[in-house]
């Protein structure tokens, strides 16, 4: 891009040494030259404002210092946090990051990933769902890959994943111990292993408190207006569970927020009438009137851990080792959305009115399962 490109050759000529010596200088091999030569090269480089061409270096060394990060959409806050985690780590290790978003229209994500490989990136962090066969073909080409917050069944590969098990159990247990007697679970369609896993965790954790937790699980249709589907399911929940203190756990934050809207739109209060918690905090949380209780996915950490895994694998070169799986722990944040001060708690309970709409009855009497 510079007007007249300064090359190593020009430096060598001006400094009256060979390209080799300049190259040695560039690579810090000062043992191989006199102090005087070193100084001269130094001066010429400064004078000419010479900068080595990373492309040529890369071609020669088979090292580009480039990694690719493949995400669905950078505008999703968790994705942004993950990317930042990756970038922060990479910068410290002198890598730079090429960003690929997979939910673009008109462009095949596989083409984009292939383009990364053609560029000789030294590794890939995948954080959006990928075709298993495709990823497999990549690993067979010895492309170094780390999966960040996604999994590919039957593929042994470096992975950073969230362990929701303990957190889910604890969240549910704490909600119950707050005095709620039903924790319902709302999930989008169970199309991914991760969602199925989360549901399983919910069911398992709920067993200690409720006899048939399956009845408390709602699969919400994946519609544009999640609002409507949520409203329907919520109504059903309320209907079936009149007289109980209800709490909701949402599989993800979007669903949680849809539910929050539904709850408000029904004229119900959080948490007095319905408590709500969920997974992941999109950063909005602190902006609500009271915070929402969430199991917070440590996206930044997932990113930085994934980057670390990748950089390690890259630097190992031929000396490869078995795939590593890192499980990071989410943080549990219990906040106002699931905590009811004692005096207000004793007065509330939801019932349905004639039109099958929820209304609030002031006298609460605890019932058994």
Partner DNA sequence: GTGAAAGCGCTAACAG
Partner DNA sequence: CTGTTAGCGCTTTCAC
Residues at the contact surface with its own copies, assessed by CB under 8 A: 1-3, 51-56, 58-59, 64, 66, 73-75, 77, 80-81, 83-84, 87-88, 91-92, 96-101, 104, 106-107, 112, 114-120, 122, 141-144, 257, 260-261, 264, 283-284, 287-289
Cβ 213 to its own copies shortest distance, Å: 29
Which one, 33 or 183, has the nearer CB to DNA? Answer: 33
Question: Which of DNA, its own copies, none sits in contact with 242, Cβ below 5 to 8 A by type?
Answer: none
Decide: 127 and 97 in contact? Cβ < 8 Å: no
Cβ 311 to DNA shortest distance, Å: 20
Q: In sequence order, what are the residues at sequence separation of 6 or more whose Cβ sits closer than 8 angstroms to the Cβ of residue 171?
A: 249, 277, 293, 295, 332, 334
Q: With residue 205 as reference, give the H or E element that holds it.
A: helix 193-207
Question: Which of DNA, its own copies, none sits in contact with 74, Cβ below 5 to 8 A by type?
Answer: its own copies
- Is 116 a binding residue for DNA by CB under 7 A? The answer is no
Candidate list 13, 48, 57, 329; residue touching DNA; CB under 7 A: 57
Which one, 2 or 319, has the nearer CB to its own copies? Answer: 2
| Strand spans (E) along the chain | 66-71, 96-101, 123-126, 145-148, 158-162, 182-187, 217-219, 246-250, 274-279, 293-296, 325-328, 331-333, 349-352, 358-361
Identify the CA nearest to 194 among candidates 164, 160, 216: 164
Which one, 227 or 364, has the nearer CB to its own copies? Answer: 227
The two tokens of residue 103 are 């939910």
The two tokens of residue 199 are 């549901």
Restricted to residues 192-251, the positions that interact with DNA (CB under 7 A) are none
Cβ 95 to its own copies shortest distance, Å: 10
- Is 20 a binding residue for DNA by CB under 7 A? The answer is yes
Cβ 288 to DNA shortest distance, Å: 54
Question: Which of DNA, its own copies, none sits in contact with 329, Cβ below 5 to 8 A by type?
Answer: none
Strands 246-250 and 182-187: parallel
Cβ 214 to its own copies shortest distance, Å: 30
Restricted to residues 61-80, the positions that interact with DNA (CB under 7 A) are 61
Q: In sequence order, what are the residues at sequence separation of 6 or more whose Cβ sits closer than 8 angstroms to the Cβ of residue 196?
A: 190
Which one, 32 or 264, has the nearer CB to DNA? Answer: 32
The two tokens of residue 29 are 């091999």
Which one, 34 or 265, has the nearer CB to DNA? Answer: 34
Side-chain half-sphere exposure of 115, counting CA atoms within 13 A: 12
Question: Which of DNA, its own copies, none sits in contact with 37, Cβ below 5 to 8 A by type?
Answer: DNA
Q: In sequence order, what are the residues at sequence separation of 6 or more whose Cβ sits closer than 8 angstroms to the Cβ of residue 243?
A: 349, 350, 351, 365, 367
Decide: 147 and 126 in contact? Cβ < 8 Å: yes
Candidate list 27, 108, 212, 223; residue touching DNA; CB under 7 A: 27
Question: Which of DNA, its own copies, none sits in contact with 119, Cβ below 5 to 8 A by type?
Answer: its own copies
Distance CA 285, CA 292 (A): 6
Cβ 24 to DNA shortest distance, Å: 6
**Is residue 182 classed exposed, middle or buried when 0-12, 13-18 and 19+ CB atoms within 10 A define those classes?**
buried
Phi and psi torsions of 351, nearest 5°: -130, 170
Query: Which residues would be at the binding site for DNA (CB under 7 A)?
Result: 5, 7-9, 16-21, 23-24, 26-27, 31-37, 51-53, 56-57, 59-61
């Amino acid at each position: 891009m510079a007007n007249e490109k300064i090359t190593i050759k020009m430096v060598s000529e001006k400094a009256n040494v060979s390209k080799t010596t300049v190259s040695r200088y560039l690579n810090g091999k000062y043992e191989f030259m006199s102090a005087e030569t070193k100084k001269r090269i130094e001066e010429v480089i400064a004078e000419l404002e010479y900068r080595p061409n990373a492309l040529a270096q890369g071609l020669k060394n088979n090292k580009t210092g480039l990694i690719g990060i493949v995400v669905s959409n950078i505008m999703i806050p968790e994705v942004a946090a993950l990317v930042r985690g990756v970038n922060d780590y990479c910068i410290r290790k002198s890598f730079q990051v090429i960003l690929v978003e997979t939910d673009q229209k008109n462009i095949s994500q596989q083409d984009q990933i292939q383009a990364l490989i053609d560029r000789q990136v030294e590794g890939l962090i995948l954080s959006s769902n990928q075709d298993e066969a495709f990823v497999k073909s990549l690993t067979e080409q010895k492309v170094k890959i780390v999966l960040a917050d996604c999994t590919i069944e039957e593929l042994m590969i470096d992975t950073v994943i969230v362990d929701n098990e303990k957190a889910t159990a604890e969240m549910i247990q704490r909600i119950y111990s707050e005095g709620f007697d039903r924790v319902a679970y709302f999930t989008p369609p169970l199309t991914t292993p991760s969602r199925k896993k989360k549901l399983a965790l919910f069911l398992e954790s709920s067993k200690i408190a409720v006899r048939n937790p399956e009845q408390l699980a709602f699969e919400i249709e994946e519609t544009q207006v999640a609002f409507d589907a949520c409203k329907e399911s919520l109504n059903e929940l309320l209907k079936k569970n009149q007289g109980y203190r209800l709490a909701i756990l949402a599989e993800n934050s979007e669903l949680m927020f849809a539910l929050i809207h539904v709850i408000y739109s029904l004229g119900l209060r959080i948490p007095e009438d319905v408590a709500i918690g969920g997974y992941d905090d999109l950063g909005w949380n602190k902006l609500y009137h009271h915070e929402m209780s969430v199991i917070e996915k440590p996206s930044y950490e997932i990113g930085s851990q994934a980057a670390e895994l990748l950089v390690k694998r890259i630097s190992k070169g031929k000396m490869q080792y078995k795939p590593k799986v890192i499980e990071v722990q989410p943080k549990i944040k219990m906040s106002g959305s699931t905590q009811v001060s004692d005096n207000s708690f004793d007065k509330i309970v939801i019932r349905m009115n004639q039109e099958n709409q929820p209304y609030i009855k002031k006298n609460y009497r605890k019932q058994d399962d």
